[in-house]
Amino acid sequence: MNAQISKEIPVKTTIKTTGADAVIQCLLKEGVDTIFGYPGGAIMPIYDALYGYQNQLEHILTRHEQGATHAAQGYARVNDKPAVVFATSGPGATNLVTGLADAMIDSTPMVCVTGQVGSHFLGSDAFQETDIVSISTPVTKWNYQITKAEEIAEVFAKAFYIAHSGRPGPVLIDITKDAQFAQIDFSYEKCKRIRSYKPVPTTDPQSIQDAADLINHAKKPMIVFGQGVILGKAEVELKELIEKAGIPAAWTILGLSALPTEHPLNVGMVGMHGNYAPNIQTNQCDVLIAIGMRFDDRVTGDLKTYAKQAKVIHFEIDPAEIDKNVKADVAVLGNSKDTLAEILPLIEENHHKKWHDEFVELDKKEYEAVIKNDLFPTKEGLTMGEVLKEINNVTGGDHIIVSDVGQHQMIACRYAKFTKTQSNITSGGLGTMGFALPAAIGAKKGVPEREVIAIIGDGGYQMTIQELGTIFQTKLAVKIVVLNNDFLGMVRQWQQLFFDKRYASTEMVNPDFVAIAKGYFIEAERVSERGNLAKAVKKMIDHDGPYFLEVKVEKEGNVFPMIESGACVSKVRLK
């Protein structure tokens, strides 16, 4: 009997160790191999424990805690596992908040570990004490403060499960210093479920049938897909649906690269600076199929006029997104890979050629009014678009673009060509300037075999420029392109169009960016003439190691098409 019991109930392996060492053991059990962070007094015991595992865990020392979070985001977005961040208490912990907020709204899995003052000091305003649990509650999927070392294994197991399951997001674990020092009996078991937490909702079979019926009877169907396709690993199913039903498919900026850019049914980007055709046709389609996207205001414009003529089908993993902004006629809950696989057998083959031809005609109008001038300019100044064109020419679309926030971001999303998924890394919902440089570091660490190119404006670049030090120390071969127009370009564009060209506090007096890069021993070049651009881009891509390229672009260039904030999506400005 005893022998039978011992067979059926596995014996946990228990070791005697410190809380700090237990933290490292938890990370190893979860398959972590990289940590981004910055040490300090309250997390020093954990860093001391990490010292003994340097052959198993690599620590990337960023130059700022915010840089650590963005690097972790870049790492997580190109991988299939949560990224890990270490920071100390007080200012170290509060410096994580922007990255946490960015990861929360963009559904990026991340586990942040902060040190905290000893539990007997909590609430006493001790040196570098902040209530990071309360501060981070609105910008985390879950957080928890550990005051007893015995809690470490269970809390970490829950943290990784919550961060990566369902709709992903960041979690934060705050550990008091005495819990790090305490001796415990440690064993670890991965978390597979949590009572009352259901990461993937049950799919109603009737919703699948109803959605299929609407799609099969549609005359002018249109798909808008977002990052939920990438997070759900549903790229193959999306492509099969599009091709079987012959449906034009547009994307949000976080959905970009889920479908190859050159696919004949890929009709471009929706939203404020999206392509002309999909924005116009949003208010012409009879069935709008939203897949893994949340109807952000930059996509919908005026909700009172958004797709009112269409039946709306919403494929979504997060029930909170259903009917939040746009009322769904059919809501299909579940992971997009599963729900698309379920609906595929019910979909009838179609082509909708006449409907697709309407997109082609609208594309021609946008090409003549905007794209031709962006990619093949006849004026003297370099455009941002032709820089992306040259990058495409060299890489063939087999690269990762990490863009910051501003005009260059919209240009990168509009003109970068992608052949593989998980290739467009940017700050979507929060719009965090300073995101790209550290995020590119994380992306390159995550997939060192792929070319990672950071596209950054001169404003956002200077928000996290110190992370050049991280590149110098790690030798990661990140390619950095700063599109320098000596302005905070997106704000300046709005000032030009809506504030009578009153350029209040948007003109930048910039330093010598090439000299700064060389100060970090990074090869660097500046280009201001069109005749030198192609050669400079190829030199950057071919260089074995990190490289900085500054391109001086036209000072007052604007990004079109454009939908004014809060306007109807069909009221698109081409100039």
Are the C-beta atoms of residues 26 and 173 closer than 8 Å to each other? Answer: no
Strands 183-186, 15-18: pairing kind: antiparallel
CATH node for 205-358: 3.40.50.1220
User: Using CA atoms in the order 326, 295, 557, 458, what is the torsion angle rounded to 10 degrees?
Assistant: 150
Q: Residue 412's closest CA among 439, 383, 382, 433? A: 383
Question: What is the predicted pLDDT for the residue at 12?
Answer: 65
In 10 A of CB 342, how many CB atoms? 19
What's the pLDDT tens digit per position in 400-457? 999 999 999 999 999 999 999 999 999 999 999 999 999 999 999 999 999 999 999 9
The pLDDT assigned to 3 comes to 41
Contact indicator for 38, 65 with CB cutoff of 8 Å:
yes
Best CA proximity match to 70, nearest among 575, 477, 438: 438
C-alpha–C-alpha distance, residues 298 and 529, integer Å: 34
∠ Cα 37 166 404 (to 5°) = 45
User: What was the pLDDT predicted at 286?
Assistant: 98
Fold of 2-186: Rossmann fold (3.40.50)
pLDDT along the chain (575 residues), means of 10: 43 85 98 98 98 96 98 96 96 98 98 97 93 98 98 98 98 98 97 96 98 98 98 98 98 98 98 97 98 97 97 98 98 98 98 97 98 94 97 96 98 98 98 98 98 98 98 98 97 96 96 98 98 98 98 96 95 95
The predicted-structure confidence for 271-305, as pLDDT tens digits, reads as follows 999 999 999 999 999 999 999 999 999 999 999 99
Name the 3-class secondary structure at 118.
coil
Can you tell me the distance from the alpha carbon of 560 to that of 472, in angstroms, rounded to the nearest whole number?
A: 37
Q: How many CB atoms lie within 10 A of CB 521?
A: 13
Q: How far apart are CA 439 and CA 460, in angstroms?
A: 13
**What 3-state DSSP class applies to 480?**
strand
- Burial code (b: 16+ CB inside 10 Å, e: under 16) for 308-325 equals eebbbbbbbbbeebbeee
User: Domain segments of the chain: what residues?
Assistant: 2-186, 205-358, 380-552
205-358 has the same fold as 2-186: yes
Core vs surface per residue 560-569: b (16+ CB within 10 A) or e: bbbbeeeebb
Nearest to 442 by CA among 22, 103, 25: 103
Residue 574: DSSP 8-state: -
Q: Which fold has domain 380-552?
A: Rossmann fold (3.40.50)
In the sheet that 249-251 helps form, which strands lie side by side, from edge to edge? 266-269, 249-251, 221-225, 287-291, 311-316, 330-333
- How far is Cα 27 from Cα 53, in angstroms, rounded to an integer? 11
Catalytic (active-site) positions: 65, 127-128, 177, 490
**β-strands 249-251, 266-269 pairing:** parallel
Please give the model's pTM, rounded to 2 decimal places: 0.95
- Inter-residue contact 417 to 390 (CB < 8 Å): no
Cβ proximity of 252 and 293 under 8 Å: yes
Q: Residue 18 in 3-state DSSP?
A: strand
Look at the block and give the residue holding tokens 């009322």.
327
Ramachandran angles phi, psi of 229, nearest 5°: -70, -45
Instruction: Let me know how many helices (H) and strands (E) the chain has, helices first.
Output: 25, 20
